[in-house]
Amino acid sequence: MNETTLTSQEREKNRELKQKLQANIEDALQVLLPFFAIHQKQALQFRKPSYVISSTENATNTLDYCRERGSYNFETAEFTFNPTTIENIATIGEETAHYIHGEINPLWKDKPKTKEEYFKTANLVELIGRYGALVYTQEKKQKVEPINWYDVVTDGSGLEVGQTHYEGYTRAEKIFKEQGAKLLPKIARMSFEESRNELPKIAPIHFYEPRLYSGLQRMIKKII
């Protein structure tokens, strides 16, 4: 929404929506901080986020649509939501988890050098986003909507959403189902390299991951 073209009534409405969004993010922050093992004092050092209300009207594909629904920008610490998603508990939980994660472990600071590194970093970031959404939704006694991956990836740029989100979301769901919230502090502090070694062991999502890992270990032992 371009602020300058709004009538005073629309501007007032926009201000109200922003306040509502801020209140909802702050609520999620209070709930999620202890799950990330972060003290209030430490959270005072975090950057102060800003809030933007958008509309999905300009979204031309899935990627735009996801961004317009609810997103967090790690560089600018800006939350962008549209009026229909401000009250969506899972989206609020996910974007707030991204914010917390970015403050304690800014993984995007080292720009990925390869496409593989980019997708792996995105998957680690999205794992924490989804993990936060699952924890927050449970605390709010609500249910998370399952993702229809087929619909996501069959729409053009949706493939990128699939590649950046699928692995992370799938691991998060598996971890939360099997171990609840307890691994959140550890995984949220993992480096890119650690996540690469640890996640296939903690939460294998393909049947070959654990075998591949033990096979590699055997090979390494032989070499050493």
> What residues line the site for Zn ion (CB under 5 A)?
126, 129
Closest-by-Cβ residue to Zn ion is 129
| CB of residue 11 to Zn ion, shortest distance in Å | 29
**DSSP letter at 156?**
T
| CB of residue 120 to Zn ion, shortest distance in Å | 15
Q: Residue 25 to residues 34, 153, 197, 224: CA-CA distances in angstroms?
A: 15, 29, 32, 51
- Residue 190 CB-half CA count within 13 A: 22
| CB of residue 98 to Zn ion, shortest distance in Å | 6
**DSSP letter at 4?**
G
Output 68 or 126, the one with its CB closest to Zn ion. 126
Output 10 or 145, the one with its CB closest to Zn ion. 145
Output 1 or 168, the one with its CB closest to Zn ion. 168
Extract the runs of DSSP E, i.e. beta strands, from the chain: 50-53, 70-73, 78-81
DSSP string, 195-218: HHHHHHHHS--STHHHHHHHHHHH
Coil, strand or helix at 73: strand
Q: Which one-letter amino acid corresponds to residue 113? A: K
| CB of residue 213 to Zn ion, shortest distance in Å | 27
| CB of residue 125 to Zn ion, shortest distance in Å | 7
Output 103 or 126, the one with its CB closest to Zn ion. 126
Output 93 or 129, the one with its CB closest to Zn ion. 129
Torsion over CA: 100, 104, 105, 108 (sign):
positive
